[in-house]
Amino acid sequence: MLFGVAKKFRSFLIESNQDFTFIPAESDKIKLKGIDPVDLYIHIPFCKSMCPYCPYNRVRYEKNLVKPYLTAILKEIDLYKKKTGDINIGSVYIGGGTPTNLIDELGIILVKIKGEFNVTGNISLETSVYDINDSNVEKLKKMGVDQISIGVQSFDDKFLQFLGRNYKAKDIVPAIEIVKAYNFKSVNVDIMFALPGQNTDDVLSDIEGALNLGVDQITVYPLFTFPYTTVGKYKSIKKLKMPNLLIRRRMYYGIYELLEKRGYKRVSVWGFKRGTAPEYSSVTRDRYIGFGAGAATYTGNLFYFNTFSIAAYEDTLKKSKLPVSLAMPVSNKLSNFYWLYWRLYEGEFNINEYKKRFIRDRKADLFMKIFKRLGMIKREGQFNSLTKRGAFWVHLMQNYFMLDYINKVWTISMKKAWPEKIDI
């Protein structure tokens, strides 16, 4: 029902000039000249601990799988260089899976990228407490990683066990101290909330634990229960009771107020940062190219995915073809709303930039007026900024609506290497 309402609202805003259908892509027809600057995403799908809640494209780590995957990514970089020519890379983001499972191969990939393109911005990477040691962190520093995010998730062993994490709460502080000793530009830790059986005191205790680490940024996000994850399957058969909306709001407001009280500024609906360190973000890139199985690319007028199948990804690149499985053209109007969505996620947007993009767009203006009437947005100088109430509802809308689109694409793509089409 909620998704049906969302589709009607989407149609109202975007109108009929946008078809929300992913169809098989002809990779040789994808044009990328002029996409400069652009950001890069690198997907490393290997995990030694298959966390039951994780929705991302991943497989269990096996040593024999590494070399073919590395060869494929290096080939993919070569093919993109032919399409883009010499371009500037604003940032590089490495996610997974657990990228540090391929610690030495990461160095090879980054050398290749720096050799083919002009990397002007930060290189950011995800890792876990389990993978942090002096050897790994020293390698990351030497290969040029600037920002690092550690998936801590909780300081309570019972929740760590539920989440399938392969470390104990006592392991967290020593791991973070190792990372801090290497003076990265920014250190972020992830904390999860809205877990089954969790109450507000549990959540705030985890936030206090994160605060005591003295890191630059704390990102707090809810448990996502995608149907195809183990957690999602448990929920569907009534074995999992999640916090209701009122409890979830109480948790979110408590997190928000505690972090602000302790000197952290909101930099997204989920992220809070202190000091002058650069913001760590895994998602807010205006245009990006994705390398790896299941990685996405967004050019501003086209959104497409690589095949999620690692075998199909590797086989396609052996034939010197890009492993693109699905694509959806993006109209100017949808592109503008995509921009607005991510600015709302970040918590604010420039009013003049909004006016340039939505000139004489009465429906967009009506949408903004509703936000203001509901106390979700307030003006601060040249920016419209989300209030605490607005941040909560945007975070909730992303959880219920945007993630539903992701779920549709990923569920089918994980079953079929080359889907026929996907309507969202």
Amino acid 233: pLDDT: 52
> Residue 400 corresponds to which tokens in the numbers above?
């219920």
Is 212 strand, coil or helix?
helix
Strands 377-380 and 383-386: antiparallel
Report whether 260 contacts 218 (CB < 8 A).
no
Amino acid 262: pLDDT: 97
* Cα(4)–Cα(9) distance, integer angstroms: 9
Amino acid 286: pLDDT: 82
In angstroms, how far apart are the furthest CA atoms of the chain?
58
Query: Does the CA dihedral 256-372-348-392 come out positive or negative?
Result: positive
Half-sphere exposure of 147 (CA within 13 A, CB side): 21
* Cα(153)–Cα(134) distance, integer angstroms: 21
Q: Which residues of the chain have pLDDT under 70?
A: 1-6, 15-16, 50-55, 225-242, 400-402
Is 289 strand, coil or helix?
strand
Domains of the chain as residue ranges with CATH: 26-273 (3.20.20.70), 348-415 (no CATH)
Torsion of CA 373, 379, 383, 387, to 10 degrees: -60
Amino acid 159: pLDDT: 94
Considering only CA atoms, which of 73, 22, 1, 9 is closest in space to residue 406?
A: 22
> Residue 193 corresponds to which tokens in the numbers above?
């909330």
* Cα(277)–Cα(187) distance, integer angstroms: 9
Among all chains, which residue has been given the structure tokens 């290749």?
A: 112
* Cα(200)–Cα(168) distance, integer angstroms: 21
Quick one: 249 exposed, middle or buried, by C-beta within 10 A (0-12, 13-18, 19+)?
middle
Amino acid 172: pLDDT: 97
> Residue 270 corresponds to which tokens in the numbers above?
């989920």
* Cα(117)–Cα(112) distance, integer angstroms: 9
Amino acid 242: pLDDT: 63
Report whether 191 contacts 154 (CB < 8 A).
yes
